[in-house]
Amino acid sequence: MLKGLEDVLWDQEVQPPEKSRGAVPRALCALAASTRETGNEAGIRVRYSLGNAHAGTYFPVVLAVIPFLGELLREGGTHARIETLEILIDLLASYEPEQGFDLVETAGGLRPLKELVREKIAGLEADVERCLTAATSPDEVRPAQEILSELRD
């Protein structure tokens, strides 16, 4: 699981300056291995590796993380999937780019980071739908429905 995680040049991604080297891949690995007891903590760890979870902000590194969140939706255990859905809701509906990082240079020029995050999460719509269809608990149904509703509004 998390194929290609070691291939990402994490040090070249724009991320919170106070985070230790390797914080993002370690947080993703903790999320992938999460259990009922560790799922919430692992999700918080991922949120803080992306920005300031308390303030509800993220840095451009989020764009490199979303594909791995998709992989967790497809291949992760129940608790990893549920917490991944919760992270995606936050990124989509309540979190904002960290001040000063709202634009990102792309091949097509500068683009709003929030727009790029939404596009990447929209690319996971089929995975979210599969989670909803296969859900065995309301803890998975609710966040999947919220994401799909947000994407379709």
**Model pTM above 0.85:** yes
Q: Write the secondary structure of 43-63 as one string of H (helix), E (strand) and C (coil).
A: HHHHHHHHEECCCCEECCCHH
CB 84 within 8 A of CB 69: yes
Chain centroid to CA 15: 14
* Residue 110, burial from CB neighbour count under 10 angstroms (0-12, 13-18, 19+): exposed
The residue type at 19? K
pLDDT at residue 77, rounded to an integer = 94
Average pLDDT over all residues of the chain: 95
Range of the domain at 84: 5-152
CB 72 within 8 A of CB 80: yes
Considering its fold, how many domains does the chain have in total? 1
Q: Collect the ranges in the chain with pLDDT lower than 70.
A: none
CATH number at residue 10: 1.25.40
* Residue 37, burial from CB neighbour count under 10 angstroms (0-12, 13-18, 19+): exposed
